[in-house]
Structures are given as C-alpha cells and as structure tokens.
C-alpha cells in the first residue's frame, strides 16, 4: 500500500476513499488526496484541554462542568479552579493528577477542563 493511502494521523492501512476525501475508520481522520499527505501533518503530541490548548505540569485549569466523584456522594462543581496539575500517562483517559480543595487527590480527564 502506498503512503498516499495510509492515514497521515495514525498510519493505519485501512483508509478508504469516499469521493474526494480519504477516511480512516480507526481514528476518524479525513484528508484530501489532492492536497497531499504532507499538508495534513499530525498535531503535536501532548495533553490538550477541551479547547485544544496544550497543558503542561504546574498549569492551572478550570473544571467546565459538574463531575461526580466515583465512590462518593461528592461533586466537583463546574467553575472550580484546580492549581498545580501533574500530567500522567493513563490508559483510562484520566491524564491529569491534582488535588482539589475540599475533596482531595483525584484524577481528571483533560476533555472536561480548560486552561486558566
């Protein structure tokens, strides 16, 4: 299979053509064969918030919606500011480790926070 038919995002060989676009069923990436694979370079690696901003260790984030704490009746309210986050590699998607006042240490998913 040529490089033109591989997904430029995840390098999957299962890409298929639908009219003018190529589509990857594994990651959902779509690209134009006319524009070339070089124009669609993958986004830089790293943990990103809900708005696409890159997060780093020590950043402050704001929780965007109410989140139930698993195994407890506590709730992290939307608008809660969390300071000094630590990024971690997690297979379950909880890639932010932090301490929240009144609740304690917990892990958050980056898709539910925005950079402060």
pLDDT value of residue 11: 83
First-to-final CA distance of the chain: 45
pLDDT value of residue 14: 87
Let me know: does 48 contact 59? Beta carbons within 8 Å: no
pLDDT per 10-residue tile (average), the chain, 116 residues: 71 84 86 60 74 93 94 93 93 92 93 94
Burial 73-112 (b: 16+ CB within 10 A, else e): eeebeeebebeebebeeeeeeebbebebeeeeebebebeb
pLDDT value of residue 96: 95
Place of tokens 């009144």: 102
């Amino acid at each position: 299979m040529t490089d033109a038919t591989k997904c430029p995002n995840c390098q999957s060989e299962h890409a298929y053509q639908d009219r003018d676009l190529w589509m990857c069923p594994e990651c959902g990436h779509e690209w134009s064969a006319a524009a070339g694979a070089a124009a669609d370079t993958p986004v830089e690696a790293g943990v990103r918030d809900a708005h696409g901003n890159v997060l780093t260790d020590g950043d402050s984030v704001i929780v965007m919606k109410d989140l139930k704490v698993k195994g407890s009746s506590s709730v992290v309210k939307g608008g809660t500011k969390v300071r000094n986050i630590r990024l971690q590699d997690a297979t379950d998607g909880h890639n932010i480790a932090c301490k929240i006042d009144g609740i304690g240490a917990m892990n958050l998913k980056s898709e539910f926070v925005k950079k402060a």
